[in-house]
Amino acid sequence: EAQVTQNPRYLITVTGKKLTVTCSQNMNHEYMSWYRQDPGLGLRQIYYSMNVEVTDKGDVPEGYKVSRKEKRNFPLILESPSPNQTSLYFCASSSSDRFSYEQYFGPGTRLTVT
Partner 1 sequence: RKEVEQDPGPFNVPEGATVAFNCTYSNSASQSFFWYRQDCRKEPKLLMSVYSSGNEDGRFTAQLNRASQYISLLIRDSKLSDSATYLCVVIPYNQGGKLIFGQGTELSVKP
Positions 74 through 113 that interact with partner 1 (CB under 8 A): 88, 90, 98-100, 102-103, 105-108
CA dist list (Å): 59 to 28, 33, 34, 64, 79: 25, 12, 11, 12, 19
Determine the size of the site formed for partner 1 (CB under 8 A). Answer: 27
Interface pattern 18-37 for partner 1 (x via CB under 8 A) = -------------x-x-x-x
How would you class 65 by CB atoms within 10 Å of its CB: exposed for 0-12, middle for 13-18, buried for 19 or more?
middle
User: Of 50, 51, 75, 53, whose CA–CA distance to 64 is shortest?
Assistant: 75
Q: Which of 19, 58, 61, 67 touches partner 1 by CB under 8 A?
A: 58
Binding site for partner 1 (CB under 8 A): 31, 33, 35, 37, 40-45, 48-50, 56, 58-59, 88, 90, 98-100, 102-103, 105-108
